[in-house]
């Protein structure tokens, strides 16, 4: 049931991943789920770059080096984590947004559409037993140095993915009644 899938979806982090390859078929299915996200004015702003094998290793090396070079006080633990996240993942999907060249709608609506696409991917991963985690490090602003990006395209983060052993953590939410105002 969709409600249970939504309620039980969780972040599963790269250190929890096991060494098991994600099939191209499953990755394509996950991306197709993203493609059916709502999109105002049908701009379909989501763009994805799928990294596996040596490309994800190159991403980890780039991210750790860029962080080290641009942060005034880089921390060794973060340098290692940026590299390890990519290395421990079976695949990494760069989450990008292509701005409507006509700017026919506010940018936040396109960012929201990309976020909904990612939620679709996340739910699909949960259904397939694939763990994932959306990370948006500050250094994503430099991704045009790593990827060929179209004019108006920007990176919003990375979806780290992998199979995992064990259960996902149980979570709670404060009651929706604390966040809702009813107007009759």
Per the annotation, binding residues for FMN are 9-11, 40, 134-136
Q: How many CA atoms lie within 13 A of 159 on its CB side?
A: 28
Q: Which residues contact 36 (CB under 8 A, 6 or more apart)?
A: 120
Q: What is d(CA 140, CA 112) in angstroms, rounded to the nearest whole number?
A: 18
Annotated binding site: 9-11, 40, 134-136
Q: Name the residue with tokens 């939504």.
A: 6
Q: Which secondary-structure segment (H or E) carries 102?
A: none
Q: What is d(CA 155, CA 140) in angstroms, rounded to the nearest whole number?
A: 6
Q: Which of 112, 100, 121, 102 minimizes the C-alpha distance to 48?
A: 121
Q: What is d(CA 184, CA 151) in angstroms, rounded to the nearest whole number?
A: 47
| Tokens coding 49 | 């770059």
Q: Which residues share a beta bridge with 48?
A: 95
């Amino acid at each position: 049931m969709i409600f249970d899938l939504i309620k039980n979806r969780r972040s599963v982090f790269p250190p929890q991943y096991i060494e098991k390859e994600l099939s191209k078929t499953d990755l394509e299915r996950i991306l197709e789920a993203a493609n059916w996200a709502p999109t105002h004015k049908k701009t379909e702003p989501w763009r994805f770059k799928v990294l596996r094998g040596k490309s994800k290793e190159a991403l980890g090396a780039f991210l750790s080096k860029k962080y080290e070079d641009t942060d005034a006080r880089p921390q060794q633990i973060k340098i290692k984590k940026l590299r390890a996240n990519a290395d421990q993942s079976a695949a990494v999907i760069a989450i990008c947004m292509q701005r409507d060249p006509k700017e026919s709608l506010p940018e936040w609506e396109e960012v929201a559409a990309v976020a909904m696409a990612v939620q679709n991917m996340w739910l699909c991963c949960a259904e397939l037993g694939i763990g994932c985690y959306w990370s948006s490090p500050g250094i994503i602003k430099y991704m045009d140095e790593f990827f060929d990006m179209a004019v108006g395209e920007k990176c919003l983060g990375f979806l780290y993915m992998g199979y995992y052993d064990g259960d996902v953590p149980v979570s709670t939410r404060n009651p929706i009644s604390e966040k809702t105002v009813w107007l009759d």
